[in-house]
Amino acid sequence: MKDKKIHIVSLGCPKNLIDSEVMVSILIRSGFGITPHAEAADIIIINTCTFILPAKEESIDEIFQMAEWKKNGRCRYLIVTGCLPQRYGTVLEREMPEVDLFLGTGEIPKIADFI
């Protein structure tokens, strides 16, 4: 898996941007490639926010958009991290089977282990 390129979409609050930067650092140190272009990625990670309703809606919209990319073969794996799975993990797993992995905020430091 480490020969795969990863694209990270960071949504919402400034804390998410920091978490996304932490993920990038961890993934690079673990040997993964990072790309700024979703269309070049094998794995797409969406770091979500639920601080306010519009952020939650933006996160859900982005998940569905990237799920379509996956369905059409534009990426192989879709991972959702951050506040949305932290808060709604079991519901998301049931309602969004197209997502390969959900990781809450506390699991971000171990992202490379899960991939």
Domains of the chain are 5-114 (3.40.50.12160)
**What's the pLDDT at 47?**
97
**Distance separating alpha carbons of residues 30 and 69, to the nearest angstrom:** 26
**What's the pLDDT at 80?**
98
Distance of CA 30 to the CA centre of its chain: 17
| Model confidence, pTM | 0.93
Question: CA dihedral in degrees (37, 52, 82, 85; nearest 10)?
Answer: -120
| Token output for 27 | 């993934």
**Distance separating alpha carbons of residues 55 and 11, to the nearest angstrom:** 7
pLDDT by position in tens, the chain (length 115): 667 899 999 998 888 999 999 999 999 999 999 999 999 999 999 999 888 889 899 999 999 999 999 999 889 999 999 999 999 989 999 999 999 999 999 999 999 999 8
CB atoms within 10 A of CB 114: 13
